[in-house]
Structure 1
Amino acid sequence: MSEGSRLRAPLVPFSLLCFSAGALALANQVLLLRELLVSLQGDETAVGLGLGSWLGGIALGAAAARRAARRRPALVAMAGLALLAAAGVAEILVARTARLALPVPPGEVPALGASLVLSIAAMALPGALVGLTFTALAATASAAGIAGGKGIARLYVFEAAGSLAAGLAVTFVLIPLAAPLHAAAIAGALALALAVPAARAGSIPGRAVLPLLALALALLALSPVSSRLEEATERARFGGFVPGMALVAWLDTPYQQVAIAGDGVRHLYEGGQYVGSFPDPEEQEIQTHAAACLAPGPGRVLAVGRLPLGGLRHLLHHPVERVDLVEMDGRAFDFVRRFLPPEDDAALRDPRVRIVIDDPRAFLAGGGEPYGLILVQQPDPVTLLLARLSTAEFFRLAASRLAPDGVFATRLRTAPNVVTGETAALGGSVYRALREAFPVVAAAPGPDGFLIAGFRSDVVTLDPEVLSARFLERKIASRVVVPETFGLMFPPERVAAQERALLLAAARLPASRDERPVSFLHALALRQRIAGSALASWLPGGGRTGTSWPALLASIPSLAVLLLAAARWTRGRPLVGLAALHAVTLTGAAGMAWSLVLLFAFQTRVGALYGQLGWLTAAFMAGLAIGGWAARGAAEAGPEESDRWLLLASGVALTFAVALPAALHGIATLAGSRWAAATPLGALLLLSGVATGTVFPSGAGALLCRGEDARDAAGRVEAADHAGAAIAALTVAVLIVPTLGLRGTCLGLAALLGVSAATVLIAMAPSRRGAAPPR
């Protein structure tokens, strides 16, 4: 008796099984990506490598399942789901400890090769299990009597619905309330519990195995074993960052991981990156007094960044009326505050100090009284989140809140003497952006220098005599800062050399903007250069290449497919199958790119991206489910109707791609509160999911009606979809957006989808004239 005759797939248990597979996949993806970001001391390179490894794994798993699931697809589906449930816990351990086996010098950022190895080790296997499970489930449905197209469409829709639910649950429940290992075990247990009804109904085997494994994962989550593993692996990972330094405490927030290390002197790490040390009395006192003297009368001060780590108490000795400390991550701020020395904690309780938990850009856009001094002490813009605080639009927001005799100051790390190479490019892009917002800009030399700006040349100055006079006038008692200190910090010849170098760099480079944050690209190139990575030289503007090669390279495969389809059309031998897979691949890439572009736009306009990531991801997943459900008929259609579905789905994707740049421009000009932009951006994420979701069942239908079985059709379409998404994940955030900008990226996607639609149209044309059957 065949497996198909022994197993049944009632629609409700089978749908629940698909839902659990989608939920488990997204939960593991989010939890593992967060771990990888810490282990790689992450920026968008880490995000791209992680997502690329995950999606590439899915593509390989789907391809492998076409052979593995040939005889017993239900068993393969059950095994894939069970292994995926256990993989969450296992791969968190890998993500934390595998770095110790790689040749990464302590305290340094991993180079590209080591980062890629760690990403593959942590993300590729669970991704492959996702692809294996999806394809095996499609074959299971077909073997059990559900029509191949209907099973694929239902699987796609309910997998997307499960991902939607998991996105909300992980973001708003598991991450805030559970440690990562506990969260992974809970997610695995719940997913397997949802799969049990399908096993009992006979859709898949495992009536005993699945409940037992679910129980084992639940017990692991509740037992002290997981807590011990959590602590041991966190300490092991940190030991790879800084050998010999004691890890005191750590906290995972919705935004990042925060860690405190060291005895006596505490060292703060955020997302695996070093932020600062405290107490560091002399350095903090020198830097704070210098910053405070940049303004002739600080009065009201706005501070973003490291000021609470020891500098605030020195700032309060100056004539300040109020200090607004803006912190995005309230949980991280409260966590770090527990370790501050008593005198620094007392400064935070000073009645002149107001702690504001908000996005800095949103706070500035909210209006209010002007500030005499605005201090931004953030790290270099090595992520797009940080880069949004170094764009012309951000500086204009700051200018709108600065008093006429006020000073804006932002940190700029440079070489001790003069800026060159990537450092000059980074400084030049920020310097030019500042000059678009302020009439007067000056630059203090490094290594921990300032860019300062304002409206009056007699106010914005680095003249040591003026600064020392301001310090003396305030009659501040200090054991480390004397009037001569300012001459040592800001020697006129070095200030002049710094400004000449930045002016020269700014003349050759565009300003960093929200739409095209080139400061991120240069900061990333600098970081990769320091790590000894070959990626530094190949980033646009990084040394060897121009800025257009990523877009040109991306167009070559699609143009080749178009030419091949046209050549076969002239011979009357259409390639509808190839055109369908090409459309699925490009739409998978476009869907990933659209979601990244819209998330970046949300982050720029609204802020607090990671705090809102749950509902934003849910919006995209809801769109996938809607699009897949709307196009479900395509998976069961005959050849001619299937061709029309494929052309219609390609047209929907192309229409959205063409309309998106105008929509982004309109949202960028919206007046009102930051949340006035949140709703249309969420709606665009939903629509991007719809446009992406319609193509998958249409592509599957095109293969099914040409003789492929459900297993092969599902495997090929799943592999194509996720291969495209993997390529987009690796390139869009790091290369395409900083090179072309948000709207330029969207226009490039529209052009590629136009090529895809043309390919589909050409491939279909002979069959309409009665030519040879399409293949």
Structure 2
Amino acid sequence: MKKYLVLGLILIGFTSLASQIVLMRELMVVFYGNELSLGITLAGWLFWVAVGSWGIGRFFVERVRHKLAFFVFAELLLALFLPASIFAARAIPLLLKTSPGEIIGFLPMTYSSLVILAPTCLLLGFLFVLGCRIYAPKSREGPEHIGYVYVLEAIGATSGGLLSGLLLIRVLPPLYIMLGIALLNLGVAFSLTWFLEEKRSLLLFPTSILILLGLSLFSFGKVEDLRQASLDLRWRTYHLLTSQNSIYGNLVVTEKDNTYSFFNNGLYNFTVPDKLTSERIAHFALLEHPEPRKVLLIGGGVSGVLKEILKHPVEKVDYLELDPLMVTLAKEYLYSTEEYVLDDRRVEVKNIDGRLFVKQTSDKYDIVIVNLPQPFTAQINRFYTVEFFKDARKILKEKGILFFGITSSPNYISEEQRNLLVSLNESLKKVFAEVRVIPGDTNYFLGCKSKGVLTLDYQRLMERLNERKVKAKYVREYYLASELSDERIDYLEGKLLPLPKVMLNYDFRPISYYYDMVLWSTHFKFSLAKIFKKISPKGIYVAAILIYCAILLPIWLRKSRNEVRPVAVLTAVATTGFAEITFQVLTLLSFQIIYGYVYYKLSIILTSFMIGLIFGGWWASKIIEKGRGNFLNFIQAQICICIYPLILPLIFLGFAGSSGKFSTYLGSNIILPFLPIIAGFIGGFQFPLANKLYLQSRGGLVRAAGLTYGVDLFSSCLGALLVSVFLLPILGIPVVCLMVALLNVVSLVLLLRGKGAD
């Protein structure tokens, strides 16, 4: 039986990370590509696993009489919940009564994620504690057994992460993957059933039925019918033409009333035809330049903007589109429309990240148009930062212009909207000699290298339109006279005056991303905008100091060494858990900021952390098994946790500032994806030692396993939420790393107070 139990424990880890990757990608699409969903999903995942291990497992496992039978039953439930979670995720817009492309609020995003993740994660947390007890019965309790179960789970998680990340998500839809994982769990449950002395027949029958049902679904092609049914749940108000995954994300094309809409990671990109938007973007940008000859277009070229650009006397248009699948789908569905002009000899399509191209190219352009959604996500925000503006300025000719648009209002600008506009305007003015903003339902920002080039005189713009013989339906004299009236210009310029508390937008302090999130939160019935607006750097620093003081409270109360030690150990587990998840979130978002396609590397980054856990946990367990592994080793691990966050910003900033092809390859394929191995090793090494030290103070294997695992996960949950939502955008990555280092230094001080002879 032992080998099947080991296989079951490995499968817990495999199921945990593989399903986590699938669900994180799925929820990221449901929540429109917003990386905030990554933090919320991680937090929700860790919270429920902690409840399952600390809350349920710690108190319930010893009361279970037939532990192996219950393990099998939990595996059966897990097999049912996995595919059901895909249906539940895709039903979120239906349940929340939102339309495809309509942004979901922070609170609905949070509670819908928690509900969907709860069944699977509660079972996984409970199975870990139950597995510890079955693997190590009371007759041979020891901390090394918790460590070995921890390592077995990490081995499974690593296997699941690598297999799903490198193969499964590339060739199979999410529902297929979840059903496959469910069948694996049923197979292990079926094998363990034969070792049951009681309850065998009660569990053997449903296990066999579920296995046969799963195999039948694959054999008779019914899985594809289920997949289509799940997609129809989400895109119910549209005719879904296709939903395809690439390494860069999920692309969807829908059709309604003879118009085609494109969605990237669930976020609405554009509709064809949309002549008004296409004309505004193309003509506002090109009419500002006296002689536009060479244009760089970043994103959205297949929407009709390219067609309008080509009406001007341009000689060359470089169109950047990261995902080749976008161009492929445009050819398939838009080829017969008049907006399709990709075959024009003046157009060159380049499938490359816009930031990377701008940083590496030696070409010079008259106009650079950023035709992307506003900075709703970290991936898009990187095109609205001071660093990007500096890179764009370098590739512009002397009278070159950078152009982008932000949704607004011509007659009323709210405080939340104003903060976002001022942040972007001031960031642009920091780089460009002249900055003007065109008012309207969308504010179009113009930054020019030279003064005296930009104009908001509609008559001058009309002269250029007529001189170039550009035929436009909307951007005409009557339209320009209204949009560029003195009243509207004066009102907007007044709203764009600098505000003392509004900060500039930088790569590693993406504050405009935060301002946009605050603005976005005002659109919902239960708005958190008031709470978001009250959070400031000063308030965060005060809260951090209070937490540091609270950790040191046992020292100030003059508690004895024996009283301090167990508290110090659990505190270190908590601060390490907070730090470890912070490292994960920062690595994910830094990769997104620097390279722009974390959807592709998500599984590798998560898996590399588990690789570190394996080696760290295995090494510590072997040390403990040999009778070594003491409080000093635990303190040494804590010192490493204090040092590691001080190194991270140097690595991130170093690769962000490099533009060479070798450094780009090194950073995107080796260093950043596998950087979490180091953090994983430290955390994996510390966890078995924490269990040994706690067992020495309190005793009880199940209690120790459930408590330490739960504390680790609860603090990780808190870290994922706080860092992704507040700390990163408001303080920036370097400051967050410093605060995490100080948090663990304070924890180290408490540990040193509990140090004694071992």
Measured after TM superposition, the shift of residue 369 of structure 1 is 1.2
Report if the CA contact (8 A) 1:429-1:509 is conserved: yes
Give the alignment of 1:389-404 within 5 angstroms. 389-404=383-398
Q: Deviations over 1:677-711 (max 9, x none)?
A: 33433453221222222221121121233353332
Give the alignment of 1:663-674 within 5 angstroms. 663-670=651-658, 672-673=660-661, 674=664
Aligned-partner residue type, residue 712 of structure 1: R
Report if the CA contact (8 A) 2:629-2:689 is conserved: no
Partner of 1:62: 53
d(CA) in 1 for partners of 2:43, 2:289: 47
Range with bigger deviation, 61-70 or 173-182: 173-182
**In the alignment, structure 1 residue 250 sits paired with structure 2 residue 239:** no
Query: Which of 530, 539, 549 is 1:549 aligned to?
Result: 539
Range with bigger deviation, 734-743 or 202-211: 202-211
d(CA) in 2 for partners of 1:496, 1:62: 60
d(CA) in 1 for partners of 2:699, 2:324: 54
Change (3 A) 1:297 1:504: same
**In the alignment, structure 1 residue 740 sits paired with structure 2 residue 728:** no
**In the alignment, structure 1 residue 238 sits paired with structure 2 residue 232:** no
d(CA) in 2 for partners of 1:112, 1:222: 41
Range with bigger deviation, 450-459 or 56-65: 450-459
Query: Which of 504, 507, 514 is 2:507 aligned to?
Result: 514
Measured after TM superposition, the shift of residue 459 of structure 1 is 2.1
d(CA) in 1 for partners of 2:593, 2:104: 28
Partner of 2:19: 28
Measured after TM superposition, the shift of residue 738 of structure 1 is 0.8
Report if the CA contact (8 A) 2:561-2:754 is conserved: no
Q: Deviations over 1:645-678 (max 9, x none)?
A: 3222212212223333444444444452322433
Partner of 1:772: none
Aligned-partner residue type, residue 62 of structure 1: S
Query: Which of 617, 630, 650 is 1:642 aligned to?
Result: 630
Measured after TM superposition, the shift of residue 566 of structure 1 is 4.8
Report if the CA contact (8 A) 1:391-1:514 is conserved: yes
Give the alignment of 1:301-312 within 5 angstroms. 301-312=295-306
d(CA) in 2 for partners of 1:461, 1:221: 63
Q: Secondary structure at the match of 1:320?
A: coil
d(CA) in 1 for partners of 2:613, 2:9: 14
Q: Secondary structure at the match of 2:121?
A: helix
Partner of 1:771: none
**In the alignment, structure 1 residue 720 sits paired with structure 2 residue 735:** no
Q: Secondary structure at the match of 1:610?
A: helix
Report if the CA contact (8 A) 1:51-1:726 is conserved: yes
**CA RMSD after TM alignment:** 2.9
Query: Which of 145, 155, 158 is 2:149 aligned to?
Result: 155
Q: Deviations over 1:722-747 (max 9, x none)?
A: 11111112111110101111010100
Q: Secondary structure at the match of 1:718?
A: helix
Give the alignment of 1:277-316 within 5 angstroms. 277-316=271-310
**In the alignment, structure 1 residue 445 sits paired with structure 2 residue 439:** yes
**In the alignment, structure 1 residue 339 sits paired with structure 2 residue 333:** yes
Q: Deviations over 1:128-164 (max 9, x none)?
A: 1110111111111102976532322222223223222
Q: Deviations over 1:24-63 (max 9, x none)?
A: 1112112222333333445244333322221110000002
Measured after TM superposition, the shift of residue 181 of structure 1 is 1.4
Report if the CA contact (8 A) 1:36-1:122 is conserved: no
d(CA) in 2 for partners of 1:120, 1:160: 24
Aligned-partner residue type, residue 708 of structure 2: V
Query: Which of 577, 582, 600 is 1:593 aligned to?
Result: 582
Give the alignment of 1:279-428 within 5 angstroms. 279-340=273-334, 342-344=336-338, 346-417=340-411, 419-428=413-422
d(CA) in 2 for partners of 1:589, 1:488: 54
Report if the CA contact (8 A) 1:555-1:752 is conserved: no
Range with bigger deviation, 176-185 or 334-343: 334-343
Q: Secondary structure at the match of 2:320?
A: strand
Partner of 2:553: 563
d(CA) in 2 for partners of 1:737, 1:410: 25
Change (3 A) 1:52 1:284: same
d(CA) in 2 for partners of 1:600, 1:45: 10
Give the alignment of 1:684-699 within 5 angstroms. 684-699=675-690
**In the alignment, structure 1 residue 171 sits paired with structure 2 residue 168:** no
Q: Secondary structure at the match of 2:600?
A: coil
Partner of 1:526: 519
d(CA) in 2 for partners of 1:555, 1:201: 55
Report if the CA contact (8 A) 1:290-1:486 is conserved: no
Change (3 A) 1:351 1:211: farther
d(CA) in 2 for partners of 1:203, 1:757: 49
Partner of 1:657: 645
d(CA) in 2 for partners of 1:222, 1:396: 56
Range with bigger deviation, 176-185 or 477-486: 477-486
Stretches of structure 1 that go unaligned for 5 or more consecutive residues are 1-7, 769-775
Report if the CA contact (8 A) 1:249-1:261 is conserved: no
Range with bigger deviation, 30-39 or 545-554: 545-554
Range with bigger deviation, 280-289 or 165-174: 280-289
Partner of 1:94: 88
TM-score normalised to the size of structure 1? Answer: 0.90
Change (3 A) 1:695 1:215: farther
Aligned-partner residue type, residue 547 of structure 1: P
Instruction: Tell me the matched-pair count.
Output: 748
Q: Deviations over 1:85-114 (max 9, x none)?
A: 321101111222255344668975333443
Range with bigger deviation, 612-621 or 590-599: 612-621
Aligned-partner residue type, residue 301 of structure 2: L
TM-score normalised to the size of structure 2? Answer: 0.91
Q: Secondary structure at the match of 1:705?
A: helix
Report if the CA contact (8 A) 1:141-1:151 is conserved: yes
Aligned-partner residue type, residue 738 of structure 2: L
Measured after TM superposition, the shift of residue 756 of structure 1 is 1.3
Report if the CA contact (8 A) 2:135-2:145 is conserved: yes
Report if the CA contact (8 A) 1:327-1:359 is conserved: yes
**In the alignment, structure 1 residue 753 sits paired with structure 2 residue 741:** no
Partner of 2:28: 37
d(CA) in 2 for partners of 1:355, 1:170: 31
Range with bigger deviation, 201-210 or 693-702: 201-210
Aligned-partner residue type, residue 161 of structure 2: G
Aligned-partner residue type, residue 577 of structure 2: G
Q: Secondary structure at the match of 2:697?
A: coil
Range with bigger deviation, 305-314 or 397-406: 305-314
Q: Deviations over 1:530-552 (max 9, x none)?
A: 1234322222xx2x343333454
Q: Deviations over 1:138-193 (max 9, x none)?
A: 11110297653232222222322322222232233222322221121012224554
Measured after TM superposition, the shift of residue 383 of structure 1 is 1.3
Q: Secondary structure at the match of 1:530?
A: coil
Stretches of structure 2 that go unaligned for 5 or more consecutive residues are none
Aligned-partner residue type, residue 230 of structure 1: R
Range with bigger deviation, 557-566 or 647-656: 557-566
Q: Secondary structure at the match of 2:727?
A: helix
Change (3 A) 1:561 1:504: closer
Report if the CA contact (8 A) 1:631-1:697 is conserved: yes
Measured after TM superposition, the shift of residue 276 of structure 1 is 2.4
Query: Which of 68, 75, 81 is 2:69 aligned to?
Result: 75
Aligned-partner residue type, residue 230 of structure 2: T
Change (3 A) 1:37 1:657: closer
Change (3 A) 1:39 1:666: closer
d(CA) in 2 for partners of 1:454, 1:546: 33
Change (3 A) 1:350 1:118: same
Give the alignment of 1:458-537 within 5 angstroms. 458-505=452-499, 508-537=501-530
